[in-house]
Structure 1
Amino acid sequence: MTALDAAVCGMTWGWTGVRGTWATPDAAASMRAMRDHAVTWTALAYAAVQETPFSTDIPFEAEPTVTDDEIVWAIREAKALGMKVCLKPVVNVADGTWRAHIGFFDWDVPGEPSWTEWFSSYRRFLLHAAQLAEAEGCEMLCVGCEMVRADGQEQHWRALIAEIREVYSGLVTYNCDKYQEDRITWWDAVDVISSSGYYPIDEWEQNLDRIERVVTASDRPFVFLEAGCPSREGSPARPNDWSLPGAPSGAAQLSYYEAMFAACARRDWVGGFFLWDWPPRLYAAADAATNDDYCPFGKPAGEYLRATYAALSTKETSR
């Protein structure tokens, strides 16, 4: 692995980056609790919100997006706790449409919203994040997340990444969605390949086989920039579905963690994880048994994660 010097024992923190939820005592306590699970990297994830999937304006300076001061606070807090940082600016849609469906005609048409217009606004958002990441010494910058319809806009992505590299000197990655790893045609433009690994508990091997071919061909390191499972009955079969009905179940989440880590441990090209996810305001430990979200705090998966990450970090340190 050329761009990562040790396994990434990571966790995503802060989603969705709502203004006023970072840079608080609760946020500081949450980040300390996350670090106590042997986490060595964190993806600080926040969203700017466009109005519809066909809007071309991304007002990242406006509410509800966290402010620059909050972002800088989170970076410095993470670094003070000894963690490396991947800054992860993401675009969401106000009407609830998943960002993967943001899209326009493949070619620009006068009078119609276009990819050129959208990327112009997205460029402002990402270059601003890149400047913050450079100023604060973030080790990695994620330039996009699960933008499935946008993935085919190769030239726009290449141009954007080239501009980002003019202001940011750290590692650049793109977080593609599950099942899309072998559909991206511009992996050579980034330093690290990453994806959202929400694969059903019994389908890890076949998907790792598929991803391995991409990693081998690209000669790039790979991490799962998202992966995880709600603590809910039925979720191991559909870990990407945060709204799946089911009773809270720490055992279900633990079974998924065990299967995921075991499968990935057999592939030396998997460089690590930024697990999904850890909120800026953490629930009380006494409420963990009834919490059915992705966060493993106070749950069996949390203890398993602490032990697994601690062992992995010790192994890497002893090399």
Structure 2
Amino acid sequence: MKKKLFLLLTIAIASCNSQSKDLAQHQTTAQATGASKINGITLVATRDSIDHKAITPIKNYNANYAAIIPYAWMHSLDQPQINYEEKRGWWGEKPKGVAVTIQLMKDQGIDVLLKPQIWIGRGDYTGHIKLKTEEAWKTLEDSYTAYIMRFVHIAANEKIGMFCIGTELDSFVKERPAYWQQLIKNIREIYTGKLTYAGNWDSYKHVSFWNELDFIGVDAYFPLSEEKTPDATTVTKNWQKWKNEMKGISEKFDKKILFSEYGYISADFAGKEPWKNAQEEHEVNEEAQHILFQQLYENMWQEDWMAGGFIWKHHAENSKWHGYEKRFTPQNKKAQKTITEAYRKAS
């Protein structure tokens, strides 16, 4: 009799554990597919190793996702070699640092978008890559594949929720569509999570492979106001054009829109050209940043075709905050409370 009861108890415990795992898997899947909003923060890669204390502030935003960006470099727009070396660079951009950061996120219930990204020269726009020969394009493709697939394997091993295959590579995407189709197939053979691409706000409409991905990624630096401090009514009015455009693209491909990046500087004229850093003559203006975030949530976060997005950006090291008073980060600014409350409601 005791043996029978012990056997029944063992079966019941195993069943409970299985149901718990199934529930956790369901919750993660629901989050990744957009059943609930992706409330994301982009973490700036750290120079040195970090621990859980660096992740807690991201959790305090009520974030459920974080983007991790390991950069590679091109010397210039016409030199096609992608350079990535494990022995150089910052801890947070090396494979070990990326894997540790992912685990630290998971420990606090935050899923990850892994978003390898290219930096060119002194900050030239990656969308302007224009190569003259087939040999040059092939060099770019081969070196980009090696770079991306290195992190695809990390994404697969760590079982993260989402991977971004590229960021603002307008001319590369336009000129080499067959390459991108094959790259996506190669990634799918290894990684089973969700895929996106980060198209710029003025070029995402022209990406040819949205059907092959799970989200339509948009770096959402849409111009919204030419005022020093944006008026909420003006911002709402100007959002309507962009909302109609994105809704149409979402319906065309039957995919949700994901803001792969979004954010505003905390300075005058923050809504005029939101992709730019503050100019020297611009004054600090936390109210402008606050209004733009607030209106973004009021106009976008309730749309059922909107998956959510990733704020640009959060620093885990105080040493990286030089000039942060005007920069994109909302840390210790009025907008931080705006974001935290919006993410709380969306959760």
Please give the TM-score of this superposition, normalised by the length of structure 2.
Answer: 0.81
Match among 107, 115, 126 for residue 137 of structure 2: 115
**Contact residue 58 and residue 125 of structure 1 kept, 8 A:** yes
Tell me the distance in 1 between the aligned counterparts of 2:222 and 2:319: 26
| Kept in 2: contact 1:50–1:58 (CA 8 A) | yes
Whether 1:131 and 2:153 are equivalent positions in the alignment is yes
Select which of 102, 112, 120 maps to 1:93: 120
Aligned to 1:263: 299
Counterpart amino acid of 1:151? Answer: V
The yes-or-no answer on 1:213 pairing with 2:213 is no
1:56 Cα offset (Å): 2.3
Could you report, residue by residue, the CA deviation over 1:36-93 in whole angstroms, capped at 9, with x for unpaired residues?
1101100111211121112222121253352111111111111111101000100111
Q: Residue 273 in 1 paired to residue 297 in 2?
A: no
Distance 1:289 1:169 in 2: 40
1:9 paired to 2:39: yes
Question: Do 2:162 and 2:195's aligned partners in 1 also have CA atoms closer than 8 Å?
Answer: yes
Give unmatched runs, 5+ long, in structure 1.
Answer: 314-319
> Is 1:230 paired with 2:257?
no
CA positional deviation for 1:195:
0.7
1:8-32, Cα deviation, whole Å (9 max, x unpaired): 0111112xx3xx625235xx53421
Q: Distance in 2 between matches of 1:170 and 1:54?
A: 33
After superposition, the C-alpha distances for 1:114-173 in whole angstroms (9 at most, x for unaligned) are 222211110001111100011111110000001111121211111111111111111111
Distance 2:209 2:307 in 1: 20
Q: Runs of 4+ in structure 1 displaced over 6 angstroms?
A: 287-290
Secondary structure, counterpart of 1:155 in structure 2:
helix
Match of 1:308 in 2: 342
Task: State the AA in 1 paired with 2:289.
Answer: Q
- Which residue in the other structure is 1:316 paired with? none
Other-structure match for 1:164: 187
Q: Deviations over 1:254-309 (max 9, x none)?
A: 0111111111135221110111111231479xx99971111111111101111110
- 8 Å contact 2:36–2:346 — kept in the other structure? no
Does residue 140 (structure 1) correspond to residue 168 (structure 2)? The answer is no
Q: Quick one: which amino acid aligns to residue 216 of structure 2?
A: I
1:178: which partner in 2? 201
Query: Larger deviation: 119-128 or 95-104?
Result: 95-104
| Selected match of 2:89 from 53, 64, 70 | 64
Q: Which residue of 1 aligns with 2:216?
A: 193
CA distance in 1, matches of 2:322, 2:99: 30
* Secondary structure at 1:217 match in 2: helix
Per the alignment, residue 277 of structure 2 pairs with 242
SS at match of 2:66: strand
Q: Deviations over 1:209-233 (max 9, x none)?
A: 1111111010112210101101111
Greater Rg over alpha carbons, structure:
2
More deviation, 201-210/292-301: 201-210
1:196 Cα deviation from its structure 2 partner: 0.5
Matched, 1:21 2:50: no
Contact 2:278 2:327 survives alignment (8 Å): no
Percent of aligned pairs with the same amino acid:
20
Query: Structure 1-normalised TM-score?
Result: 0.88
Distance 2:71 2:164 in 1: 12
CA contact (8 A) 1:13 1:31 kept: no
> How many residues matched?
300
Q: Are residues 243 and 176 of structure 1, via their aligned partners in 2, closer, same or farther at CA, if it must alter by over 3 Å?
A: same
Counterpart residue type for residue 64 of structure 1: G
CA distance in 2, matches of 1:213, 1:84: 29
Between the two structures, name the one with larger relative contact order (CA 8 Å, sep ≥ 6): 1
